[in-house]
A and B are shown apart, each in its own frame.
Chain A
Amino acid sequence: MISLIVILPFLSALLMALVYLSNTELKRYTFYTTLGIGVPAISTLLSFIAGFELLNGGATIHYTLFEWINVGDFNISLAFMADRLSVVMVSFITLIGTLIHIYAAGYMKDDPAYGKFFSYFNLFMGSMLLLVLADNPIMMFVGWELVGLSSYLLIGFYHTESSNVKAANKAFILNRVGDFGFIMAISLLFVSLEGTGFTFDSIEANISQINHGVLTLIGVLLFVGAMGKSAQIPLYVWLPDAMAGPTPVSALIHAATMVTAGVYMVARYSFLYIEIPDIGLFIATIGAASALFAAIIASYQSDIKKILAYSTMSQLGYMFIAVGLGAYSSGIFHVFTHAFFKALLFMGAGAVIIALHHEQNIFKMGGLKRDLRLVYITMFIATLAISGIPPFAGFFSKDAILVTAFATEHYFIWGVGSLTAMLTAFYMFRLLFSVFHAKPKSELEVHSVPTSMTYPLVLLAFGSATAGFLGVNEAYGGSSWFNSFLALPDITLHLSHSTEYMLGGLNVVLGLLGMGLAYKMFAHDSKEAESNTMFKKLAINKFFIDEIYEFIIVKPLLLLSNLIAKVIDPRIFDGFINFNVWGYTVSAKLFSKLQNGKVRFYALYILVGVSAMSLYLLFKLEALS
């Protein structure tokens, strides 16, 4: 049954691709919509059934589809594993994925390549499910790569514009850098396990036989992979550019699939990371740096989707703080709640963009709260949730992470996290107020938004408001149900309730502070940030990171390849071959001179040849000595 969760999206992607290719002109709206939404819905249902099975105390579900590679010790099956962690992941991926599919049916309605889009979309979801449900690192890697591929296809979906293709390439290439780390890590893991089985279960059982140094290296390399997929410093630059794809794609990348893969992977290898807390601290530091860095950039952006992209990066930073410090469940919990409100934010942004006929600059919008009431209300809920205002989902998950940082006495990370929380509230409300409250700059013509795009928003708003209650911890009267269900090797925290109240209260105060600041600056009259100070100039230009990468990596590489293409290859390699060819031509001309057709010369050659042979024979027979 769990194999069907993964296989069905792949099958429908294949079917839709074939049907689409058979005639690309035909619309076939009903067919693609039914299949494209139906299959994710079935997957959702199946994953809920699997989830309930585990919820009722069922054991981890294993299912082997077939044996894939079997060479000596190297024994890889196409097998799936649904333990508590993957069941949670799968459930919300399929649920939110399905909602995004429904939304996409409205968003992409008039696109001529509707069938292709849904084929890619299902492929994307299937790849992510394969990644999550994989039973061994190899299968996970296959899913990991497929996610990279389908994100590439979807980011470059509007491929007639070269900047979009460039963005897709950027995402793909940066992900390859991360993949390199991933594949090195699993190779190293396989070698050091010396053939004691290569499923997650057996790796966990035999992890102690690997020495600490190797384990550290594996941990770092795995995290390099996570950096690429989950857009952390320094491999994050693809994420803002990935906004080139259609908005449902951004929603899917940021909420349900792709970027959460890195966090999931660290949680999946939690048995490995608890052995190497130093690397965990490194991960948390990178996470904190990414969180703050992205929040600062987001505060100065004016493209609605770019703001959301940086906000995702920032929230992913939080998740890495959690998993880095050993609070794996809190990390996954934030993935879970984040999926709801980030999907909602992207879909709301998409609705606004559609309504304003593809306007993306928030400062050219304004006063939309009357025309787009439903979108406004749902986005308001999502914004409250991401800003960590109780009782919305984001408060509980973000609070759990900051409490972890505080309780493990990493005060610096905690401080950065709290500062980021304030910035988060600031830039999110900046977006909300600019779009919905501020006076419009010009008379805006508002198109109607199809209902298939608004109903998912309501469902997600409900999720954003309530998903947090699943993981309410003891201090707030809950029992951390989510964490205890996951049963990951979390660190235990010792913190009095009063301290927790204080930390939670501080978060709320910081959130409200950011909100108030945004209200003061943007609610009535929104203005784009001016680059009048040094810092603002840096932040508006995203700290020139793209330019720096261009300068230190892209330019030298281009120079090198130019050098090879224009000098080394034609001069040295071709030169060597051409020299040989020249030699043959010249010697052939010389030898052909001998062939002059005159019989006496031929007789001479015979004389020379016979003489030479005779001399040789005489010499050999030692008749001359």
Chain B
Amino acid sequence: MTPDMFFLLASLLFSIGLVGLISRRNLFILYMSIELMLSSINLLLATFSKVLGDPSGSVIALLMIAVIAAEAALFLAMIIHLYRNNRTVDSDNFIELREDKVND
């Protein structure tokens, strides 16, 4: 099996994640898209580690899985917090960063 397949898969996963991030509004979906992109990067790291015969890539990938797990907990907690405050998980409702004055 050539590494090209892995590269293709990683690119696909990343693209799906990115498109999901841009096109969807549900915070959970956004979260899942981000996870998808992270996974694609992990896959890429593992692949290069295997291709180049250097184990440090795999080490980083493993480390990242741990970090992502911690991040997942934090992320879900934040989403719940936002939901409690606003009774919605639509990302378009959270627009505090908007430039108000010039926009209207």
Q: Do A and B bind each other?
A: yes
Which residues does A use to contact B, with CB under 8 Å?
Answer: 588-589, 592-593, 595-600, 603-604, 607
Rounded to whole angstroms, the CA-CA distance of A600 and B97 in the bound complex is 13
B86 within 8 A of A: no
Rounded to whole angstroms, the CA-CA distance of A554 and B24 in the bound complex is 76
Indicate whether A592 sits within 8 Å of B21 (C-beta atoms), given known contacts A597-B97, A599-B30: no
Smallest CB separation, A596 vs chain B (Å): 5
Q: Is the CB of B22 within 8 A of A595?
A: no
B4 within 8 A of A: no
Indicate whether A597 sits within 8 Å of B102 (C-beta atoms), given known contacts A604-B22, A607-B22: no
Smallest CB separation, A241 vs chain B (Å): 61
Smallest CB separation, B32 vs chain A (Å): 14
Q: Is the CB of B103 within 8 A of A600?
A: no
Which residues does B use to contact A, with CB under 8 Å?
Answer: 18, 21-25, 30, 91-92, 94-99, 102-103
Q: For A599, give its contact among B23, B94, B99, B103 (CB under 8 Å).
A: B94
Rounded to whole angstroms, the CA-CA distance of A310 and B102 in the bound complex is 72
Q: Which residue of A lies closest to B19 (CB)?
A: A607
Number of A-B contacts (CB under 8 A): 41
Q: Is the CB of A596 within 8 A of B103?
A: yes
Q: Is the CB of A600 within 8 A of B102?
A: no
Residues of B within 8 A of A596 (CB): 95, 98-99, 103
User: Lowest 8 CB-CB distances: which A-B pairs, in order?
Assistant: A597-B98, A597-B95, A592-B102, A595-B99, A597-B97, A592-B99, A603-B21, A604-B22
Rounded to whole angstroms, the CA-CA distance of A600 and B95 in the bound complex is 11
Q: For B22, give its contact among A588, A589, A597, A600 (CB under 8 Å).
A: A600
- Chosen A-B contacts, 6 in total, with CB atoms closer than 8 Å, are A589-B102, A592-B102, A595-B98, A597-B95, A600-B30, A607-B18
Smallest CB separation, A303 vs chain B (Å): 70
**A595-B97, A596-B103, A598-B92 given. 15 additional CB < 8 A pairs?**
A592-B99, A592-B102, A592-B103, A593-B103, A595-B103, A596-B99, A597-B96, A597-B98, A598-B95, A598-B98, A599-B30, A599-B94, A600-B23, A600-B24, A603-B22
Rounded to whole angstroms, the CA-CA distance of A600 and B19 in the bound complex is 10
Q: Which residue of A lies closest to B94 (CB)?
A: A599
Rounded to whole angstroms, the CA-CA distance of A599 and B79 in the bound complex is 14
Rounded to whole angstroms, the CA-CA distance of A593 and B100 in the bound complex is 10
